[in-house]
Amino acid sequence: MAWVQLLPRNDDITDEHLKDFCRGRIAHFKVPRYIKFVDDFPMTVTGKVQKFKMREQSIDGLGLHEEASVQNA
């Protein structure tokens, strides 16, 4: 999943435009399957992006839930 913050002059870009741009420039498995357009990123007080919050919001928003792995003894 890619989180994208657009500049005001580029507000007409869609997820398909972005995927088409990525194809041919990066490996096919790196082209994002899901794209989320945001106004801003969750940040800490010191200005760092909180990737764990992005991950949690993505999992909840897409309905993907991590299953606990069970190890056989």
pTM: 0.76
Q: What is the pLDDT of residue 63?
A: 87
Task: Please state the φ and ψ torsions of residue 37, each to the nearest 5 degrees.
Answer: -90, 125
Q: What is the pLDDT of residue 71?
A: 58
Homologous superfamily of 2-62: ANL, C-terminal domain (3.30.300.30)
Q: What is the pLDDT of residue 51?
A: 95
pLDDT tens for the 73 residues of the chain, in order: 999 999 988 888 999 999 999 998 999 999 999 999 999 999 999 999 999 999 999 999 988 876 655 555 5
CA distances from 43 to 28, 39, 53, 57, 70 (A): 30, 12, 9, 14, 34
